[in-house]
Chain A
């Protein structure tokens, strides 16, 4: 076991890398939600002035990356690596964005857990001495995801109460060796869990066990309890997934998360007035909440210690049609002001 390791799945950097900048851009619908003041930009057009939904998503990811670079007075040339992933087949949003940015690029895929996966890997690259600056980003677009995973956007059907709404937006952050800002003090890499959920419209339930597993693992490995954190933020579990994760954390490890655990998918929309049923989902859900809302809260000193547990469902329409249940993953990143 290496010196930087703590417990079975957790990695603790010797000199915690700093998140020196972060940016979040969102679509028009998210721009009307309760977190609207925390986003760097809200588009007024779901197409973002582009011809296709895919191009719109790319524009959003690039905008988030450039805003993040601008916020920190850096350019793409200063970056050593670009780590990005998204939901579209072959992660085209990230690949095409990397072409524009012209930064050495690793494509990553953790479905909606990509934000935390990017932060975790960026922290390892920086702490390992492989890089001084790493740009990491992720994105999702409601219409491009909808047409890939479900139906054409204009297809009419009645939505079920446990369905979630894919967030349109993108988030990016720069992880650096030195600088001002919150630091990544621990990373717990999750294992893939499958508890037999087969309904691709009920992803919150499929991902909840993975979230609980990673959180319990994190607490065991670090010796910190849930009370150590001001806020524990799960990715996009939605209304029912959130309840299930809290229940599972109690039954698996006896941890009480009911006090300080919230879900990005539930924060981004007003579930009373915005008709999104069980809440938001998608790569952008955890990314825009973490890089928009959380980052600003940390910088203002309103929060000091947070645990971001982004969750992803690793299925595809093909795997579901062939009768497989939905495997899910969660990665936890501990972000602290020190």
Chain B
């Protein structure tokens, strides 16, 4: 019989204790966190819109085409702030507001690259860079495949 620790039932003592812990340890301030995330996420969206408009006017391209350099700029800013050691301090307060947009993706890659730089180019940066972002890429590709499949079957 496979013994999966995830399915192992708790003993009476364990159950009683985990309930005691649950009652004692406060939940994170969800409302405050959500409001801060909303505020910071909104600010990032405003910055993104600013760069989109800027590139649209400066490069005289369509709004859709201006999106690419705007995203690249946001990634650059996220990476730069990570390198300067500021990103994690802001993210303490901003939470998901900073990590869900593309700035968070940049942070996850750059922070890992910085951290493992000392283990060398190949075994450090090369292999550890995507340790956090790897699952975003994996499941992004898988989702894209299925969405593409549905599109091909039903829309075309």
Residues of A within 8 A of B26 (CB): 161-162
- Do B98 and A161 touch (CB < 8 A)? no
- Do A157 and B110 touch (CB < 8 A)? no
8 A-B interface contacts by CB (under 8 A): A154-B85, A154-B107, A155-B108, A155-B132, A156-B107, A157-B92, A161-B29, A195-B13
As a 0/1 sequence over residues 126 to 170 of chain A, the CB contacts with chain B under 8 angstroms (1 = contact) are: 000000000000000000000100011111111111100000000
**B51 at interface (Cβ–Cβ under 8 A)?**
no
Count how many chain B residues have C-beta atoms less than 8 Å from C-beta atoms of the other chain: 44
Enumerate chain B interface residues (CB-CB to A < 8 A).
Answer: 4-6, 10-11, 13-15, 17-18, 20-21, 24-26, 28-29, 33, 82-83, 85, 87-96, 98-99, 104, 107-108, 110-112, 114-116, 118, 132
**A202 at interface (Cβ–Cβ under 8 A)?**
yes
**A9 at interface (Cβ–Cβ under 8 A)?**
no
Residues of A within 8 A of B83 (CB): 154
Binding stretch for chain B, among A89-97, A217-225, A239-247? A239-247
- Do B118 and A147 touch (CB < 8 A)? no
| Candidates B92, B96, B111; contact of A153 at CB < 8 Å | B111
As a 0/1 sequence over residues 46 to 80 of chain A, the CB contacts with chain B under 8 angstroms (1 = contact) are: 00000110000000000000000000000000000
- Do B115 and A158 touch (CB < 8 A)? no
- Knowing that A156-B111, A195-B17 touch, tell me 17 more A-B residue pairs with CB under 8 angstroms: A154-B83, A154-B85, A155-B132, A158-B92, A158-B94, A158-B95, A158-B96, A161-B26, A161-B28, A196-B11, A196-B15, A202-B25, A205-B21, A247-B20, A322-B5, A323-B4, A325-B14
- Do A160 and B18 touch (CB < 8 A)? no
- Identify the closest chain B residue to A209 (Cβ): B17
CB distance from A105 to the nearest CB of B (A): 26
CB distance from A174 to the nearest CB of B (A): 33
- Do A52 and B118 touch (CB < 8 A)? yes
- Do B5 and A325 touch (CB < 8 A)? yes
- Do A156 and B104 touch (CB < 8 A)? yes
CB distance from B51 to the nearest CB of A (A): 21
Enumerate chain A interface residues (CB-CB to B < 8 A).
Answer: 51-52, 147, 151-162, 194-197, 202, 205, 209, 240, 243-244, 247-248, 275, 322-325
The binding surface of chain B is classed by DSSP as helix
A-B contact number at CB 8 A = 101
- Identify the closest chain B residue to A146 (Cβ): B115
- Do B15 and A156 touch (CB < 8 A)? no
The binding surface of chain A is classed by DSSP as loop
CB distance from A206 to the nearest CB of B (A): 9
- Identify the closest chain B residue to A278 (Cβ): B25
- Do A323 and B5 touch (CB < 8 A)? yes
CB distance from B33 to the nearest CB of A (A): 6
Bound-state Cα–Cα, A161 to B30, Å: 11
| Candidates B14, B94, B98, B111; contact of A154 at CB < 8 Å | B111
- Do A157 and B95 touch (CB < 8 A)? yes
